[in-house]
Amino acid sequence: MEPVKFLVDSMAGKLARWLRMLGFDAEYERSGDPELLIRRAVSEDRVILTRNLKFRKIRVPRSVKVFFLSSEKTNLQVREVVEKFGLVHHIRPFTRCIECNVELEKVKNKEDVKLKVPYFVYITHDEFSICPKCHRIYWKGTHTKAMIDRIELVLGEELAKKIRHF
């Protein structure tokens, strides 16, 4: 079963990056316009994640799912979404571009990134991924451990243990 696709509104922008870091399809819509969000949710089959109370005052089609985040704090929002939508077993960290929301592609030939990453990174790492849209290059550096540590703080130690092998 495919995990849920999300549309995060302007009131929860950091949440979109977190969901992407965990491997979930989370588009970000800067507009605070509920009508625009609804149109996108319908056309892209997405669940709207919001704190915008305007959604409670307008008519939302039955086909559109709107989930109201109860917290202003990103860490709590992440936990809330993961628990509400049963995403624990679907987490695939570091598989999406945190900027573009596009699935990353493995770099097959290390030479292809030689001039695109710092020299030290090139000589100390063998595996790289690239965003096919923005061409940002990713590797498992010290920042990866820091990110997993943050995931552990947000979702709990047991879940973080499960994903440490990434």
Give the global pTM.
0.89
Annotate the chain with three-state secondary structure. CCCCCEEEEHHHHHHHHHHHHCCCCEEEECCCCHHHHHHHHHHHCCEEEECCHHHHCCCCCCCCCEEECCCCCHHHHHHHHHHHCCCHHHCCCCCECCCCCCECEECCCHHHHCCCCCHHHHHHCCCCEECCCCCCEECCCHHHHHHHHHHHHHHCHHHHHHHCCC
Confidence of residue 162 (pLDDT cuts 50, 70, 90): low
Nearest to 92 by CA among 142, 155, 25, 12: 25
- The confidence score (pLDDT) of residue 133 equals 97
Confidence of residue 165 (pLDDT cuts 50, 70, 90): low
Confidence of residue 1 (pLDDT cuts 50, 70, 90): low
- The confidence score (pLDDT) of residue 159 equals 63
| Per-residue pLDDT reduced to its tens digit, 2-35 | 779 999 999 898 999 999 999 999 999 998 789 9
Q: Is the Cβ–Cβ distance between 117 and 139 less than 8 Å?
A: yes
| Per-residue pLDDT reduced to its tens digit, 33-60 | 899 999 999 999 999 999 998 888 888 8
Report the mean per-residue pLDDT for the chain.
90
Residue with tokens 């969901």: 19
Domain map (residue ranges) of the chain? 6-90, 105-163
How far is 51 from 104, CA to CA, in rounded Å?
A: 29
Tokens at residue 48, please? 């709207």
Question: Is 148 or 135 the better-scoring residue by pLDDT?
Answer: 135
Confidence of residue 163 (pLDDT cuts 50, 70, 90): low
